[in-house]
Structure 1
Amino acid sequence: MQSRLGRGGEAPARAAVLDECVTPISRPHRDDVLIAVGGLLSGLVLWAVGLHTQGGRSLPGAWVLLPLVGTAALELLRRTAPQPALALGACLLVLDQFTRGSLATVVMFTDLVYAAVVYGTPAAARRIPVTTGIVTVGMTIGFYAWFQQPEALLIGVVTGLITFAPATTGALVRHHRDAADSARLRAEQTALLAEMDRSQAVVAERARMARELHDMVANHLSAIAIHSTAALSLDDPATTRQALSVIRENSVDGLAEMRRLIGLLRDTGGRDEPTAAPTLSGLDALVAQARTNGADSGLGFTLDDRRAGTGPLPAPVELAAYRIVQESLTNALKHATPGTVEVALSRVDGLLAVCVTSPHGDRPGPRAPGSGAGIIGMRERTELLDGTFTAGPVTAPDGSRMWRVEAQLPAEERNLRT
C-alpha cells in the first residue's frame, strides 16, 4: 500500500517542485510591443529603399537586419528586464557598426538607454547617466586624438546624443515620477492622519457626552429607583406619599438636566446660546438634595468647604470637581450603609483636593444597581486635567469601614494640561 501511495503522490510532488522552480514570464507591455513593431517596420523600410547610416563596411547587404531584428526584440524587454536589454542592445549596436548601419537600430538603442534609467533599479538609474557621460567624453577625446581633425568632435556629439542624452532624459523623468509618487504618498498619509484625528475626536466627544449624561442623570434616576422600590415594598400611605414627592422632584430635575444636555448638543444655527455649567457654588444645593433623597435610607450628608479666600478656580476644574462630588453622592445613595457621608474640599499648594467618604458594608433595604461607569468617568475627568484619582474602601480611625473617593486637581491655569 505504501508503494502505491508513493507512486500516486509522485506526480503532484514533481508538479509542486516545478511550480517552485519555474518563474512565470511576464508578458510584454502593449506599448513595448508597439515600439518594437514600429522600430522593426521602420528599419525594414529604410533597408528596402537603401537608406543606411554608413557604407563600405565588411558586412554589406542583409547583415544590417541582424542587429535591427535583435534590437527590436529587446524592445519587448524594456520594462520587464531593462538592464539586460541595454547590455545586449549595446552589443548589437557595436555589431551594427560593422554593417551598412540602420538609423532604426540606433533610435531603438537610445530608447533602451532611456528605459533602463526609467524602469531599472535605483542604483542603475544613478549609474547609467554617469557611465554614458564618461563614455561620451572618452569617445570625444579618443577620436580627436586619433584623427587630429576638428570633425572628430562630431563623433563625440553623436555618441552623447545616442547614450548620454536619453540617459539624462530618463533620469529627469524618473525624478519627476518619484517626486509625484512621494507627493501622492504624503497626501495619502495626510488623509490617513486626518481620518485618525477625526476618529479620535469623535471617540473623545462620545466619551465626554457619556460622562455628562451619566453624571447629570444617574443621580436623579438612582433616587427615583430607590424611592420607587421603597414605595412598592412598604404599605404605608405616608411613606408612599413622601417617596412619590421625592420621585417627582428628581424627575423634574432630571428632565431639566436632560434639556440642558440637549441644548449643548443641538445645532443653534450660528446663535451662541450660553448654557450655564455647574460650579462648586452649587454644592450646597447638591448636598441638600442628596440629604433629602437619602433620608429614608438613614444617610446624612455634610459639606466641609475650606476654600474660603483662595481665589477663583479654572472653569474645567470647577466642573470636574462638581461632577466628582455629584457622582460620589449618587454612589453613596445607591450603595452606602446608614451613616454620614462627608464631602470635604480644600486648596493647598496649587491643588484642589476633593474627598468624599461614605459608610461601606452590607446595606439593608432597597438599593439601585451600579455599572461601574461612574468610577470610570470620575477617573477620566481627573486624568484629562492631569490630576490624580483614587477610590476604594478604607478603615476609619474608629475601626469602621468607609468608602473614600479622593481627587487632586490642578487649581491654577498654568498647571492645566494643554
Structure 2
Amino acid sequence: MTSDPSTSAEAPWPVRTVALKVSKWIDRLGPVWVEGQLTQVTARTGTAFLTLRDPAADVSLSLTAPAQLVRSAALTEGQRVVVHGKFSFFFGRGTLSLRVDEVRAVGVGELLARIERLRALLAAEGLFDPARKRRPPRLPRCVGLITGRASAAEHDVVTVAATRWPAVRFRVENTATQGVQAVPQILDALDALDRDPAVDVIVIARGGGSVEDLLPFSDEALCRGVARCRTPVVSAIGHEPDTPLVDHVADVRAATPTDAAKRLVPDVAEETAHLAQLRTRARRALHAWVEREDALIARLRARPVLADPLRTVEVRAEEVAVLAERGRRTVARGLEQRESDVRHLRASLTALGPAATLARGYAIVQAGPDVGSPVLRSVDGAAPGDVLRVRLADGAVTARVEAPE
C-alpha cells in the first residue's frame, strides 16, 4: 500500500486536511439508488435520521432525509424501501451519510416479482432438483432447531416431537425470524448446527405471517446457505399456503411446524402397535410353517416305507421264497424228466445192447484169448489150432479151433 508522497512520518497531515480531502472525494460521487430495510426512523422537526440495513448481511447505512419526506411516505421500521440520494461526509464529525431526496416503498407485488425471478435463477442452477435432496434419518439422535425465542413454532415442534418419541433431543438456536437481523442470525445458527456432528437433522421453523414477515426465508443468501448444508434440512415456514423459496431448497418441506415434528420422528404408540402387529404376523407365520412341516413329516411317516420299514423286505423275501420254490419245482420237474429220459434210453440201450443178445443165446467170439482181442467176424479169420475167446451172457470161455466148417 502506497501513501501520498506529500505526507510522511515527519510531515503528517492534520485531521482536518484528511477530512477535507475525503469530503471532496465523496462529493465527486454521483447520486445512487439503494435498496434495504429500515431499522430506525427518527423524524425530527426538519431532518429525519434513518438507518438502512441490508436484509442479507450485517451491514447498515445512515440516511438523512427531510422530515416532511419521511412523514409523507409514512415510513416505519422494518419496511423495505428504495431510496435515491447523494453521499455526504460530515466534516465536523467525520461520518458518512446518504442525503435522501426520494423514497419509494417496495410493494408486495414487486417483492413477489423479485422472488419469482430469484426462484427461476435458483431453479436454473439446480438448487430445487429433487435428486440432490437427502432423506433425514428415521430416528435422529439430536435435532437442531432454528426458530424464534419462546415462539409457538418452537413449542409445537418440541412438544409434538417429544410426545411422539420421548427419546428425541433438541439443540435449539433462537434467532430473529423476521426483519433485517433474521437472515444473518439464521445463517450463523445454520452453520453452527451443520458443524455439530451430534446433530442429525436441522429444522427451520416459523409460524405464519404476511409476505413481508416471511421475506427472510426467500432470501438468496439463506437459500444458498441451506443448499450448502451437509446435514439434511427440514423447512417448516408459515402455514400450508406459504411457500418461501427455502421450502424448495430444503431437503424436506413441512406444511407447518407441527407437520415438521411429525416428519422428524415416528409416533411411539403407532410404532409399538406396528411392532405388535409384526410380532403377531411373525408368530402366525412361524406357527403356520411349523404346522405345514409337521403335516409333511406326518405324511412322510405315514408312508409304508417309513410306517413299516421291514414290510418291503418281507414282501421281497416272500417273492424270493416263491421264486425259489418255483425254481425248485422247475428243477425237480426237469430232473424227473431227465430221469425218465435216462430210463427210456437205458431201456433202449438194454434192448439194443449186446448183453440182451447174449442173453438170448448168442455169443461173441474174439480171435485170441485176451479180453482186448478183436472180434472174429468170419471163419477165414480162424485157423485150426487157434485159441479163441467166446464171450457168453454170464461169462467167457476159451476154445481151440479144430477145423473150419
Q: Identify the TM-score tier after normalising by the shorter chain.
A: under 0.3
More helix by share: 1
User: Structure 2 length as normaliser, TM-score?
Assistant: 0.23
User: Structure 1 length as normaliser, TM-score?
Assistant: 0.23
Specify the structure having the higher radius of gyration (Cα).
2
